[in-house]
């Protein structure tokens, strides 16, 4: 009996759908991180968003490229922060 099966189905994942599952407190923390950074550095360009730890709510502002996240982190796009 052959137990290996070749599955040829593609999974269509829309990258923008994950934002509906973000905790509102994460968005609020990301907004606070951005506002604090902007108050110190008002001349900055528009960031892509904030990479934030879901447990500690510590985060970093991302300005370029697709962020590489740790397992406990998530990305909050700037569109949700403003």
DSSP string, 50-80: EEEETTT--EEEE-SSPPP--TTEEEEEHHH
Q: What is the DSSP letter of 22?
A: S
Q: Dihedral (C-alpha) 59, 61, 67, 68: value to the nearest 10 degrees?
A: -30
Task: Among 1-5, 20-24, 34-38, 62-66, name the one with the lowest average pLDDT.
Answer: 1-5
Neighbouring residues of 4: CB distance < 8 A, sequence distance ≥ 6:
none
pLDDT band per the 50, 70, 90 thresholds, residue 22: confident
Q: Which two tokens stand for residue 60?
A: 């970093």
Q: Which two tokens stand for residue 29?
A: 């923390």
Look at residue 76 in the predicted model and tell me its pLDDT: 94
Is the pLDDT at 39 greater than 60? The verdict is: yes
């Amino acid at each position: 009996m052959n137990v290996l099966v070749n599955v040829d189905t593609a999974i269509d994942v829309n990258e923008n759908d994950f934002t509906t599952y973000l905790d509102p407190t994460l968005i609020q923390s990301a907004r606070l991180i951005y506002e604090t950074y902007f108050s110190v550095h008002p001349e900055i360009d528009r960031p892509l968003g904030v990479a934030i730890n879901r447990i500690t709510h510590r985060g970093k502002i991302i300005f370029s490229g697709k962020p590489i996240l740790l397992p406990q982190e998530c990305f909050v796009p700037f569109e949700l922060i403003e």
